[in-house]
Amino acid sequence: MTTHPHPTRRQLVAGGLLAAATHTLPALAADAWPTKPVRFIVPFPPGGPVDTTARVASQKLGEIWKVPTVIDNRAGAGGVVGASAAAREPADGYTLFMGAIHHAVNPTLMGNLPYDIEKDFAPVSFAAMFPVFVVAHPSVPASNIQELIALAKKPGSALNYGSSGNGGGTHLAGELFNMEAGTKLQHVPYKGSAPAMNDLLGGQVQLMFSDAPTALPHIKSGRVKVLGVASQKRSAMLPDVPTVAESGLPGYEAYSWAALFAPAKTPKAVLDKINADFQSAFNDPAVRQRLLGVGAEADPGTQDQMRQRLRAELDKWARVIRTAGITAG
């Protein structure tokens, strides 16, 4: 039997052809994708800001991909039910997951989750941010953030703020404010933003760190007064309202968000295509305007940007939860 310690020319050529063919496989897979409907798992009930963002995305992407898109609402346990279901789906690009700020909060707030948001998912793109407005009952003697901080630090001050629930984004925004301003605003949790706003309107609570859809109608009617917006930049929804950072609390930033994920090990070429198409969709002026109408600001970016932002959000809210001693429930 003859052996060849060194590869023959024929073997080299064959090996080169195989390598070349293998190298083109991801590109070919991306070119062929999608050939069937794409499903978006949304871990919240229909009608909320994350669900609306997913529906806007799926409609526009369906037009780009020329395949049907389906919204699959898997609500429960603060986003855990939907994330658990999405993490078990095949990594082929045909199931995507619209995650939210809850998925940066839950690892610290709950612990022992049946999935790992970083290891079991591949980032696709940030989708939208939902501005948080600091609003007050008209009786509160403060018209801006500096006056609010001064009022809260007065001896005997007992200001409270309502939120959509313990451990939610609007609760965490308030606790971050306490940490950075050195105040002791008292948290009053409700089962949702609407009942919290009802009590703010009635004067049972004095403040809210409110999501835009809940706050905007009452800001515009004058039933509550807006002291600032908690995001890094002013909101296109109320461009005359200064940020908290520029009006007395430098560095403060809090907002809710939605972001698009895929199951881990989804081929990179498919992820690249989804990301490119998603950025195209969410940079479309008509899409951006539609999102503004429901209290969302389109915020697409690269996969690396999303990975870095997710890690920063995980670290930030872990610090707030531990410092404030927040527990689930």
- How many Å separate Cα 241 from the centre of its chain? 22
> Which of the 8 DSSP states describes residue 287?
H
Q: What is the pTM of this model?
A: 0.88
Q: Which CATH number fits domain 36-130+255-324: 3.40.190.150, 2.40.50.140, 3.50.50.60, 3.40.630.30?
A: 3.40.190.150
Q: What is the pLDDT of residue 248?
A: 84
Mean pLDDT per block of 10 residues along the chain (329 residues) reads 48 48 48 94 93 97 98 95 98 98 96 96 97 97 97 94 92 97 96 94 98 93 97 95 94 95 98 98 97 94 98 97 89
- Domain 131-247: top CATH class: alpha beta
Q: Do 36-130+255-324 and 131-247 have matching folds?
A: yes
One-letter amino acid at 159 equals L
Give the CA dihedral 196, 199, 200, 206, nearest 10 degrees.
-100
Q: What is the pLDDT of residue 328?
A: 81
Q: What is the pLDDT of residue 28?
A: 46
Q: What is the pLDDT of residue 234?
A: 96
Q: What is the pLDDT of residue 111?
A: 86
Q: Where are the domains of the chain?
A: 36-130+255-324, 131-247
| DSSP string for 61-126 | HHHHHTS-EEEEE---GGGHHHHHHHHTS-SSSSEEEEEETHHHHHHHHT-S-SS-TTTSEEEEEE
Helix (H) or strand (E) holding 161: strand 160-163
> Which of the 8 DSSP states describes residue 243?
B
Residue 328 near residue 307, CB atoms below 8 Å = no
